[in-house]
Amino acid sequence: MDELYQQYSQIVFQFLYARCHDRELAQDLMQETFLRAIQCLDSYDKSCRLSTWLCQIAKHLLYQHWAKSGRARLEELDETLESGYDTEQHALAKVELADVWERLRKLPPEMRKTVELRVLGGLSYREIGQALGRSENWARVTFYRAKLILTEPD
């Protein structure tokens, strides 16, 4: 595995860095990629190049990171609202945030994941389509339909 790391670590790092523009995050995710690769090396079926397989693992780890960090940002917003002045504006913001979370939870799983990747992860429609095994157009249409559902009055 050491020689695989030597051969492919720079490719995986560059792949991650090109997407996240954060050297430290790219380095951490590169390390995690190789740990995951070791754990599931027996699942590599040689239908693609090893570098492609490693970059797929890296991409999924990056998407997971973005999804988690996006949720954390929304949780911070919620905490900020709760700790702030209890004005009418803050009260309305709390109600709106709770309503958005409730509506989001009611979306079908793929539609909800599309919204999370777009809004919380900041992914392009192409990246969302790739992550979910669909087309860019499917991701665009699904996000548009989700927006309609989320913004329609009760």
Amino acid identity of residue 102, one-letter, is E
What pLDDT score does 52 carry? 84
d(CA 131, CA 139): 10
Q: What is the pLDDT of residue 40?
A: 85
What letter does residue 117 receive in the DSSP assignment? I
Put simply, whether the predicted model's pTM sits higher than 0.75 gets the answer no
Interval 80-123: pLDDT, tens? 555 554 555 555 555 566 667 777 888 899 998 898 888 777 78
Burial 57-68 (b: 16+ CB within 10 A, else e): bbbebbbebbbe
In the prediction, which pLDDT does 149 show? 82
Contacts by 95-99, CB closer than 8 A, 24 or more apart: none
